[in-house]
Amino acid sequence: MTVNNIEDQKIAILSLHLLQICMVYIITLLVQKVLSEKEWFNKMKPENFRWLTPLYYGHITPYGEFQLDMNKRINIEGTI
């Protein structure tokens, strides 16, 4: 936290929580999309399902820069 104001700190923490929740939601949608394809679903073994989680974080840098293009949508369903 770079500010001493308690209200600004609360907003910063709540913003981080919102970002985390959004990332989990998007990752969940993407995993569901992949597993809805029979080819990928049939490749899954019972032990593979135990490792599925929406908490992938290797591609996220919480202290880095986030590129957000409000003119584009995430292509989850295959169409824009």
User: Domain segments of the chain: what residues?
Assistant: 1-80
**80: number of Cβ within 10 Å:** 7
Distance CA 44, CA 68 (A): 33
pLDDT tens digits for range 1-22: 577 889 988 998 888 888 888 8
* pLDDT tens digit sequence for 42-63: 988 888 888 887 776 666 666 6
Question: Do 55 and 24 form a contact (C-beta atoms < 8 A)?
Answer: yes
Q: Are 9 and 1 in contact (CB under 8 A)?
A: yes
Quick one: DSSP state of residue 48?
H
